[in-house]
Amino acid sequence: MEFLAEYGIFLLKALTIVVSIVLVIAGVAAVSGKQKPNHDGFITVNKVNDDLDDYKEILEENLYDKDELKELEKARDKEDKEKVKAEKAKAKADKKAGKGAGEDDVDTVEVIKKRVFVLDFDGDIKASAADFMREEITAILTMARKEDEVVVRLESGGGMVHSYGLASSQLQRIKDKGIPLTVCIDKVAASGGYMMACIADKIVSAPFAIVGSIGVVAQLPNFSRLLKKHDVDFEMFTAGEYKRTVTMFGHNSAKAKDKFREDLEETHVLFKNHVTRFRPGLNIEEVATGDTWYGQDALENKLVDQLGTSDDYLVAACNDADVFEVSYEFKKSLQEKLGFAVQMGVEKAATRFLTIMNAQTHTKG
């Protein structure tokens, strides 16, 4: 027993030393990483059409025998040829009607196939995903044409006004280039999420997705009575009457609270004007109450344009277009992986907690 106790103490000492060394290395790496930040990343592209073809091929191989597969292949080849022929005929007709080209010119027409670029935005309270989306949009705008389309699969219960304002501005870049923008909502696009969604030319919502919450909220605890009870003084020094209105630790005067409410109202007006600009058909005073609607009710209130899931929309798009999922990922050096692992873990946990708490305000039923 004495041997086991000593062995256990030895293991604890060894573990303590190892942990200490790791923390020192992580600290050095963090400092070094801050001096030479590495923000390089890379774009990945996945063609959705190929995924669908693979799914179909796997199922056909398991559902049909060899003779049936040969017949399917023949029928598919015939269908593809007829489709290409029809597309060329349409392109020729369009060119002839638009430019008055002769028959010789029409024969040289090339069919330009539409491309759909798909982005994912899963928003936390800080709209952190905007850091990736800005790079994805920059990449897409180097290639996208006006006959193409960008689809954003958006999920967010909202968060900080300035963060979602920036995320909305990233989507505006697509509109400014004259490229059609569609937003698909499968679960929730509320508050800041809807601030982003309303920019789109078309909003597609799942029937039970939660949409809306055109309102502004701010809440904070106040510990002034607790501090006073324990004889703890709190002093705050500012230059400028409204540098700080309400505080968590001191007494909040009626004037400070009124100013804070006034600021919230001004933000709400900006939010309503933003939504009205992009969806002028809305009765903004009816929907800008902070309430939310399920997709089917949101359609009746003109908050969205059609019902359906992002899967429905993209699978249908594959019939006539090449559909590409585009995503951006940061490269991380060893220093960053070691130095910021703990920091990022704590920060993500805190952000996740706040995001979940925020989402609770948009949960129906």
Catalytic residue among 191, 205, 213, 310: 191
| Residue position matching structure tokens 């800041």 | 192
Distance between CA atoms of residues 14 and 22, nearest Å: 12
Tell me which of 61 and 214 has the higher pLDDT: 214
Whether the CB-CB separation of 201 and 213 falls below 8 Å is answered with no
Contact 211, 189 (CB under 8 A): yes
pLDDT in tens, 240-280: 777 777 888 877 788 888 888 888 899 999 999 999 999 99
Residues 135-176: tens digit of each pLDDT? 999 999 999 999 999 999 999 999 999 999 999 999 999 999
Tell me the Ramachandran region of residue 342: left when phi exceeds 0, alpha when psi lies from -120 to 50, beta otherwise: alpha
Give the Cα separation of 333 and 33 in Å (integer).
8
Nearest to 201 by CA among 176, 224, 236, 227: 176
Return the residue matching tokens 């989402």. 359
Backbone angles phi, psi at 205, to 5 degrees: -125, 140
Percent with pLDDT over 90 in the chain:
48
Residue 361 confidence class, pLDDT cut points 50, 70, 90: low
Q: How many Cα atoms are found within 13 Å in the side-chain-facing hemisphere of 359?
A: 18
Q: Is 70 exceeded by the pLDDT of residue 41?
A: yes
Spatial neighbors of 223 by CB under 8 A, at least 6 apart, are 248, 249
Beta-carbon count within 10 A of 214 CB: 24
The pLDDT of residue 271: 94
Among 36, 146, 229, 243, which one carries the catalytic annotation? 243
159 phi and psi, to 5 degrees? 170, -135
Residue 224 designated active-site: no
Helix axes 254-278, 161-176, angle to 10 degrees: 20
Give the span between the Cα atoms of 3 and 320, in whole angstroms. Answer: 75
For residue 120, which amino acid is it?
Answer: D
Give the H or E element holding residue 21. Answer: helix 2-35
The answer to whether 243 is a known catalytic residue is yes
Residue-wise pLDDT tens digits, 289-312: 999 999 999 999 999 999 999 999
Name the packing angle between helices 48-63 and 66-99 (round to 10°): 150
pLDDT in tens, 68-91: 878 878 877 777 777 777 767 766
Asked if residue 38 has pLDDT above 50, the reply is no
Which pLDDT does position 231 carry in this prediction? 81
Could you tell me which residue, 20 or 220, shows the higher pLDDT? Answer: 220
Q: Rounded to whole angstroms, how far apart are CA atoms 319 and 326?
A: 19
Look at residue 182 in the predicted model and tell me its pLDDT. 98
- Nearest 5°: phi and psi at 69? -65, -40
**What does the alpha-carbon distance between residue 212 and residue 197 come to, in Å, rounded to a whole number?**
10
Please report the pLDDT score of residue 102 as a whole number.
Answer: 47
